A and B are shown apart, each in its own frame.
Chain A
Amino acid sequence: SPASMDSLSSSGVGGGGGSDSDKRQILEQLQQQTALNLIQSLVNTSTEKCFEKCVPSPGGELATSEQKCVSMCLDRYVETWNIVSKVYGSRIARESGGGGGGSSGISFQ
């Protein structure tokens, strides 16, 4: 439910104004926006790369082979992303002395 101006002005626990549910909502919205931006970025870049790779001479329509290529290309791009995420994440964990457990990466299944 949308936070109303009244609920924002009521004081909640944990210092400062605003109830805990309002704070949670703000964080959730930020999280959602970040995830959306991420997907957007992934789609834009993979589309460009896969178009380059699979459609060297754009014709009147996309051939079946080209469609299959694009589909496989996207799978490989996501696989690349997951490898990068894992390697980078491990490296950070190693360099910060293995502390700060939990993965900060998103991987795509």
Chain B
Amino acid sequence: SASSVLRDPTMQRQLLAMKQQQEFQANVAKFTEHCWDRCDVKATAKMEAKTSRCIANCVERYLDASSRLSADLPNLLSRMADSRQQAPPSSAKTIWG
């Protein structure tokens, strides 16, 4: 049966590997589009060295920023919970009101 095929541990391992690969490719697609714009890649016969450096930096810095954000997230979330129990400061009204 189909469900017993899916329960096979080898099958599950390979499906997991495929899922991870898919995630990798999806990220590559996302970074490519983003860094193409950011680095203003030109439609020329040859890519300039500064452009390929820019693309590499773009990816690395994006990942750095992403790690930074993930590291800060627990702190941010706990601060959000605290502010819900307090009255909003009057300065908030100035900004949003």
Q: A residues within 8 Å of B by Cβ?
A: 8-9, 14-18, 22-23, 26-27, 30-31, 34, 38, 41-42, 45, 49-50, 53-54, 69-70, 72-73, 76-77, 79-81, 83-85, 87-89, 91-92, 104-106
Contacts and interface: CB of A to CB of B under 8 A. Distances in A.
Nearest to B22: A34
A84 B5 contact: no
In this complex, the interface size class of chain B, counting residues with CB under 8 Å from chain A, is: 35 or more
State the majority secondary structure of interface residues on B.
helix
Interface of B: 1-2, 4-11, 14-15, 18, 20-22, 24-25, 27-29, 31-33, 35-37, 41-45, 47, 52, 55-56, 59-60, 63
Contacts of A91: 59-60, 63
Given A76-B41, A81-B28, 14 more contacts: A8-B2, A15-B8, A16-B5, A16-B8, A23-B8, A23-B10, A23-B11, A31-B18, A34-B22, A38-B29, A81-B29, A84-B31, A87-B56, A91-B60
